[in-house]
C-alpha cells in the first residue's frame, strides 16, 4: 500500500515553493486504493463520516467529443477526502496498467462491478454530503463514462465566486486558506518537460506525481468547505443565494450532459448556401470598386517584385483580400477617397478604423460599405457557427454547451471566465452569441427538439431588466405600467416624451427610446446616446431629462446607488449578491465613473439573472416529477440564453407544461422579497419544430 512514503520520493524546491514544505506535509495521510480491502476501508470511512470531498483527474476538458488515438480511458483517477489532511487516491486507468488483455489500462478491470457499486453508492446516495470544486465538470465525466449521475451538495468554486474576496481557482485558494500553497509545483515542472502534444494527459504522468497532486486537490477542497461553511452560516441571505446556485448547477449538469440536438443535414446545406452567398456578395463588392482594386493589386505586385531578379516574391501578397482591414482601409480612404473621421483614427497606429461602427455610419452614403457589412455578417455566420459547431457535435448529433454560473479562474486555460455580476455565460459553443434577428435566425434553425414528436419551446421573461429596475426604484409610473399587464414599454416611453399616442409612434422612434432607456440604465450620457442613436447632443440631453421627469423615482434610485457605492465600496442585489467596487471613490475619474455605472447596472443584471435561475430550478424540479405521456421521450430542459429558457416538449404534453411553467413558475416566483416589490412579471412563449422558426403564442 502506498502511504506517506510517496511524499519523500517527490523532491520539493523550497526556493520556489514557500508553503508546500516537508514540515507542512509531514503529517498528511494520503493513501492509494490498491486492493479491494482498501476500497472497503474507504467505503466504510465515508459511511461513517457521511461527508466527503471528491475530485477527478481526466485526460481532457470535454467528456463528449474527446477521442483517443492512443490507448487508455478518459478518467485517470478519483480522489476522496473525509477531513483535512487526509485523502484517498482511487486509480481508474494508467499507462502502468496497460497489457494485451487490458488495452485501456484499467486498474479495476477484474473487479469493475464492485467499483461501480461503490461509485454509484457514493455519488447517488442521499445519505452522503458531497463536496466538490467546480464539480459540474467532474460530474459530467462520471455520468458519461460510468453511467452514474452524481449529486452535489456543496461547490467551493461557486461559494468563493459569490464572496469575491479572492480568486476562486483551487490552486490560488490553497495559498490563502491552507498550508498547501504550491502543491502543484512538482507536477507543473514535470509538465513543462513534456512535448506540448503530451502535456496534461494524466494517463502518462508518473503515478507518484498523480497521487500527491490529486490528494492535495481534494484535501484543499475539504478545507475550503470548512472555511466557506462557517462564512455562510453567519450570512443567511448569502446562504440562500448559494443554495440557489448549487441547485442551478445541478439543473445545468442535466442540461449540459444531455445536450441539445443539431440538424446536421441542415448544417451541411447551410455551409454550402452561405459560401455561395459570400461569393456573390464578394463579386458585387469587387464590381463596385473594380478600377480601384485593380490599381491596388498593381501596387501590390510592384511592391512584391524583386529589384534584383525582377520576379515576384512568393512571400508577398499580391491579391486584394476583402477580409483584410488594411486592404479595406486603403481602398476606402485612399483609393475611393471616402472622408475620414478623426474620432475613428487610432492614436497608436494612425490607421482609420473599418469596424462595424464606421461602416454603419457610412452605409447610407456609400453602398460599398453596406455591401461589406453584408459580407462580414455572412463570414461571421460561417466561421463562428457553421464551421465551428462540428467540433462540438457528439456521435448522437448533440452539442453540450458549458454554462458558467459565476465568474471563476480557469486554471487549465489560465484566464477568468464567466461574469462578475453572476449573469449566466456559456461556452463551447456559446449559445448566447446565436443571432436572433434577421437573416441570422437561420443559425437558430440548426437547433431542433429531441424527437420528431417534440417541439422546442422558448419561454422568455418579457423586459425582465426593466421590471427589475422598477423593483429597485419603486417608481409609481413604472409600477402602474407593469401592473396593467400589457403594452410596449419603449413605445409607451416614446409616446410620453413625444407627447403623442402610442399608435402614432414610428418604429424608428421606438428604437431610439429603447436604446436610450437601456443606455441610461447602463450609465451612458447624452454624448454616447447621441453617437448611438444619431440624434443631436441637445436632443439626447432633452430625452434623458424628459425620461427622468416621466420616472422621477428612477433618477433618485440611481443617485442613491452611487452614493451608497462611494461610501461602502460595494452594492448588493435583492437576492443578496454583492458586487465589490473598491474604485467607487477613486481619485481617478475614469475608474470612479466606471464603478458608479456598475453600482447601478450590476444589481439589475444580477437580479434579472438570479430570477431566471430561480425559475429554471423550479422548472427542473417540476419536469423531474412530471408524468410524461411517453416516459422514453420525456420533456426536458435544453438550455438558457439570457432571460429565456428552452425546453424540448412532447406534443401530447405541450399545453399542460406551457401553462404551468408560464403561469405558476415564471410569472409567480414565490419569493417574498420579490413579491413585496409589487412588480408584475410576464413571460412570452414561442413554439416551433426548430429554434429559428417559432410561433409566438398570444395570451389575452
pLDDT in tens, 217-274: 999 999 999 999 999 999 999 999 999 999 999 999 999 999 999 999 999 999 999 9
The better pLDDT of the pair 421, 40 is held by: 40
pLDDT > 90? residue 2: no
Residue 592: what are its φ and ψ, rounded to 5°? -65, -50
Q: In what order do the strands lie in the sheet with 683-688?
A: 636-641, 644-650, 454-461, 683-688, 695-696
Q: Is 424 strand, coil or helix?
A: coil
Over range 544-557, report the average pLDDT.
94
pLDDT > 60? residue 176: yes
In CATH, what number does 264-390 get? 1.20.1060.10
Class of the CATH-defined domain 5-234: alpha beta
Domain boundaries, the chain: 5-234, 264-390, 403-472+555-700, 476-550
pLDDT of residue 413: 58
**Global confidence as pTM:** 0.90
Q: Is 375 strand, coil or helix?
A: helix
Residue 78: what are its φ and ψ, rounded to 5°? -130, 135
Over range 431-458, report the average pLDDT.
93
Closest by Cα among 297, 342, 295 to 320: 297
Using an 8 Å Cβ cutoff, are 433 and 384 in contact? yes
Express each pLDDT in 616-649 by its tens digit: 999 999 999 999 999 999 999 999 998 899 999 9
Helices (H), 364-501: 367-380, 441-444, 464-473, 476-483, 489-497
Q: What is the mean pLDDT of the chain?
A: 90
Domains 264-390 and 403-472+555-700 share a fold: no
Q: Which residue has the cell 455610419?
A: 361
Using an 8 Å Cβ cutoff, are 441 and 631 in contact? no
In CATH, what number does 403-472+555-700 get? 3.30.70.370
Pairing type for strands 86-91 and 454-461 reads unpaired
Express each pLDDT in 325-337 by its tens digit: 999 999 999 999 9
Beta strand spans in 133-198 (E):
154-155
Closest by Cα among 146, 327, 172, 158 to 246: 158
Task: Determine the Cα–Cα distance for residues 524 and 181; give it in Å rounded to an integer.
Answer: 43
Amino acid at each position: 500500500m502506498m502511504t506517506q512514503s510517496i511524499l519523500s520520493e517527490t523532491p520539493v524546491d523550497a526556493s520556489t515553493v514557500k508553503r508546500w514544505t516537508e514540515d507542512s506535509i509531514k503529517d498528511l495521510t494520503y493513501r492509494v486504493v490498491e486492493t479491494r480491502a482498501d476500497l472497503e476501508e474507504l467505503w466504510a470511512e465515508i459511511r461513517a463520516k457521511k461527508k466527503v470531498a471528491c475530485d477527478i483527474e481526466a485526460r481532457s476538458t470535454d467528456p463528449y467529443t474527446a477521442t483517443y488515438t492512443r490507448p487508455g480511458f478518459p478518467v485517470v483517477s478519483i480522489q476522496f477526502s473525509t477531513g483535512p489532511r487526509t485523502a484517498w487516491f482511487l486509480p481508474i486507468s494508467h499507462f502502468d496498467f496497460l497489457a494485451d488483455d487490458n488495452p485501456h489500462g484499467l486498474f479495476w478491470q477484474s473487479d469493475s462491478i464492485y467499483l461501480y457499486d461503490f461509485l454509484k453508492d457514493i455519488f447517488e446516495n442521499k445519505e452522503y454530503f458531497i463536496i466538490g470544486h467546480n464539480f459540474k465538470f467532474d460530474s459530467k465525466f462520471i455520468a458519461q463514462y460510468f453511467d452514474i449521475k452524481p449529486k452535489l451538495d456543496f461547490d467551493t468554486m461557486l461559494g468563493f465566486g459569490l464572496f469575491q474576496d479572492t480568486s476562486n481557482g483551487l490552486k490560488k485558494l490553497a495559498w490563502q486558506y491552507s498550508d498547501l500553497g504550491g502543491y502543484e509545483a512538482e507536477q507543473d515542472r514535470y509538465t513543462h518537460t513534456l512535448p506540448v502534444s503530451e502535456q496534461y494527459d494524466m494517463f502518462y504522468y508518473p503515478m507518484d506525481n498523480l497521487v500527491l497532486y490529486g490528494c492535495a486537490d481534494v484535501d484543499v477542497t475539504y478545507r475550503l468547505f470548512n472555511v466557506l461553511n462557517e462564512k455562510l452560516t453567519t450570512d443567511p441571505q448569502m446562504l440562500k443565494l448559494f443554495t440557489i446556485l448549487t441547485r442551478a448547477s445541478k439543473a445545468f449538469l442535466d442540461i449540459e450532459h444531455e445536450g441539445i440536438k443539431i440538424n446536421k443535414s441542415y448544417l451541411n446545406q447551410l455551409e454550402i448556401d452561405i459560401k455561395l452567398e459570400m461569393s456573390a456578395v464578394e463579386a458585387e463588392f469587387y464590381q463596385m470598386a473594380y478600377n480601384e482594386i485593380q490599381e491596388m493589386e498593381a501596387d501590390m505586385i510592384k511592391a512584391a517584385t524583386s529589384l534584383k531578379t525582377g520576379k515576384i516574391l512568393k512571400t508577398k501578397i499580391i491579391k486584394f483580400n476583402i477580409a483584410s482591414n488594411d486592404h479595406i482601409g486603403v481602398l476606402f480612404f485612399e483609393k475611393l477617397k471616402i472622408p475620414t473621421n478623426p474620432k475613428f483614427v487610432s492614436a497608436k497606429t494612425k490607421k482609420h478604423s473599418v469596424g462595424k461602427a464606421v461602416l454603419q455610419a457610412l452605409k447610407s452614403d456609400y453602398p460599398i460599405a453596406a455591401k461589406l457589412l453584408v459580407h462580414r455578417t455572412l463570414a461571421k455566420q460561417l466561421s463562428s457557427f457553421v464551421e465551428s459547431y462540428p467540433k462540438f457535435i457528439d456521435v448522437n448529433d448533440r452539442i453540450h454547451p458549458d454554462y458558467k454560473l459565476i465568474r471563476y479562474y480557469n486554471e487549465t486555460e489560465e484566464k477568468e471566465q464567466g461574469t462578475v455580476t453572476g449573469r449566466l455565460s456559456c461556452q463551447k459553443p456559446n449559445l448566447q452569441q446565436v443571432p436572433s434577428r434577421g437573416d441570422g435566425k437561420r443559425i437558430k434553425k440548426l437547433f431542433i427538439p429531441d424527437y420528431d414528436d417534440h417541439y422546442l419551446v422558448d419561454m422568455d421573461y418579457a423586459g425582465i431588466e426593466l421590471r427589475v429596475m422598477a423593483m429597485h426604484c419603486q417608481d409609481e409610473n413604472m409600477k402602474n405600467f407593469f401592473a396593467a399587464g400589457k403594452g410596449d414599454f419603449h413605445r409607451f416611453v416614446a409616446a410620453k416624451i413625444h407627447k403623442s399616442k402610442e399608435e402614432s409612434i414610428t418604429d424608428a422612434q421606438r428604437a431610439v427610446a429603447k436604446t436610450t432607456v437601456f443606455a441610461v440604465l447602463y450609465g451612458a450620457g447624452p454624448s454616447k446616446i447621441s453617437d448611438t442613436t444619431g440624434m443631436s447632443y441637445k436632443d439626447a440631453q432633452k430625452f434623458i431629462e424628459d425620461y427622468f421627469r416621466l420616472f422621477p423615482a428612477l433618477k433618485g434610485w440611481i443617485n442613491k446607488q452611487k452614493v451608497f457605492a462611494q461610501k461602502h465600496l460595494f452594492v448588493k442585489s435583492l437576492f443578496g449578491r454583492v458586487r465589490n467596487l473598491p474604485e467607487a471613490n477613486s481619485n481617478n475619474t475614469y475608474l470612479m465613473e466606471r464603478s458608479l455605472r456598475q453600482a447601478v447596472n450590476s444589481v439589475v443584471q444580477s437580479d434579472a439573472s438570479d430570477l431566471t435561475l430561480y425559475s429554471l430550478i423550479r422548472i427542473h424540479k417540476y419536469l423531474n416529477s412530471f408524468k410524461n405521456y411517453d416516459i422514453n421521450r420525456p420533456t426536458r430542459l435544453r438550455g438558457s440564453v439570457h432571460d429565456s429558457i428552452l425546453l424540448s416538449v412532447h406534443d401530447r404534453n405541450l399545453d399542460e407544461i406551457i401553462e404551468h411553467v408560464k403561469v405558476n413558475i415564471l410569472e409567480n416566483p414565490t419569493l417574498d422579497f420579490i413579491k413585496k416589490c409589487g412588480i408584475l412579471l410576464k413571460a412570452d412563449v414561442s413554439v416551433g419544430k426548430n429554434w429559428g422558426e417559432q410561433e409566438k403564442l398570444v395570451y389575452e
